[in-house]
Amino acid sequence: MQESILKSDGLYHVYESKAEDGNVVALRGLHVDMKEGEAVAVVGPSGSGKSTLMKCLGGLMKPSAGSVTLAGKNMTRLTGQELVQLRQKTVSFIFQEGNLLPDLNARDNVAQPLRHQGVSSRKALKLADAMLERLGMAHRINALPAMLSGGEQQRVAIARALITQPRLILADEPTGALDPVTSREVLALFKDLHRNDGVSFLIVTHSKEVAAFANRSLELRDGRFVAEHGAEVDVEDLSKDRELIIDETGTVTLPPDLLVRIGGAGRYTVGNVASGYLSLQGEAVEGMGQMELATTCPACKHDYAGSDEQECPSCGSSRPMVEVKA
C-alpha cells in the first residue's frame, strides 16, 4: 500500500454568522485519502464547498472539526511555526487569481518562497529565473503583476508554486481565468510534473481537460462527497460514470437525476441486503407524489426551459426535485 500524502477524517467546517441567514455548514464530515503521486480532481456545483475544502486541507483555515494529516503529520496538532514549516516544504497553492504579491516583480515573487526557507538571495533569484524561463516568462521577469496579463500572472504564480519543489500541489480552478492556449500549456506542465517528478495534485476544476488528467474525481455537493468518478470522467455529464459514496455515518446522497429515476423523495422499504448489495422499494409507499426536476432555479429564478441540466448555468446552484402539481 502506498503512503498517503494527504488524509482527512471527519472534516467539518461551519462559517459562523450573526446575520439573519445564520451559520453555513460548508463541509459535512469529509474523508479524503490521497496516495503519494496521485492526481485527484474535485468537481461540483458552485457553493458546494470546494474552496473551503482546499483551504482546510492545505492548513490555510482551521476546520471546525476533524483532522488533516499532511505527509504523515497531523496538522491540527501542530503549533503555528511547525505548521508553517511543514507547509513550506510539502505543499504549494495555486488559486484562480490573486496569487502574487503586488509590490514585487515577477522574479522576486517567484524567489520569495525560497528566501523564506533561508536560501540565499542570489541563489533564489537564479532559480527563479530558470523557473520563469521554463514557463515561457523569461522576457517579463522585471514586470510587476499589474503589468502582466491574466495568463502571464498565472504562469508566474505557477512558477512561484513550483519553485520549492512541493510534493503536493493544491489548485483551486488554476486554469479558470486562462485562455484555452495558456490553459493547455499549464496542463501540459502539470502532467509533466505528475509523470516525471511524482508530484501529487488535488485540483478543483470545471474543465473537462483538467478532470481528465486526474486519476479520479470526487464529486462534492452541499458539503458532502456524493460520488467518485474514474479517470474517464465527463464533467458535463457526471451521471455517466458515477460511483455513489456511502460515508462512515451511513449517509448517501442521491444526485437529482437518480432521484428522478427512482421516483423522487419519500419513504422506501429496505428489500434485499447482502454484502455489497442493497435494494430499496418505493412503490408501496403511500402519499409519494410524482417528482420532476424544478423548472426554474430556486436561487436565481433562471428558467431551465425544458433542459435536463442539473446545475444552474446562471448561478451554479444544484437543481432540486419538486413535486409535480396535479
105 binds, among Mg ion, ligand ATP, none (CB under 5 to 8 A by kind): none
| Helix (H) or strand (E) segment spanning residue 243 | strand 242-244
Number of residues that bind Mg ion (CB under 5 A): 2
Site for Mg ion in 111-170 (CB under 5 A): none
String of contacts with ligand ATP for each residue 25-64, x by CB under 6 A = -x-------------------xxxxxxx------------
**Going residue by residue from 48 to 67, which x/- string records binding to Mg ion, judged by CB under 5 A?**
--xx----------------
Q: Which residue's entry shows cell 488559486?
A: 95
Question: Helix (H, G, I), strand (E, B), or coil: what is residue 274?
Answer: strand
76 binds Mg ion (CB under 5 A): no
Q: Strand 216-221 to strand 224-229: parallel, antiparallel, or no bridges (unpaired)?
A: antiparallel
C-alpha cell at 87: 507547509
Least distance in angstroms from the C-beta of 85 to Mg ion: 27
* Nearest-approach distance from CB 207 to Mg ion, in angstroms: 14
- Contact segment (CB under 5 A) with Mg ion among 45-53, 87-95, 107-115, 217-225 equals 45-53
- According to DSSP, the β-strands at 39-43 and 216-221 are parallel
Check binding of 211 to ligand ATP (CB under 6 A).
no
Q: 26 or 157, CB closer to ligand ATP?
A: 26
Q: Return the sign of the alpha-carbon dihedral for residues 209, 300, 220, 151.
A: positive
Q: Which residue, among 48, 32, 42, 46, has the nearest Cα to 233 in the 3D structure?
A: 42
Q: Tell me the C-alpha to C-alpha distance, in Å, between residue 221 and each of 27, 229, 248.
A: 9, 14, 17
- Is residue 205 a contact residue for ligand ATP (CB under 6 A)? no
User: Interhelix angle for 121-134 vs 106-116, to 10°?
Assistant: 130
- The span of 44-52, 135-143, 147-155, 251-259 binding Mg ion (CB under 5 A) equals 44-52
Check binding of 69 to Mg ion (CB under 5 A): no
Q: Nearer Cβ to Mg ion, position 56 or 163?
A: 56
Interacting residue ranges for Mg ion, rule: CB under 5 A: 50-51
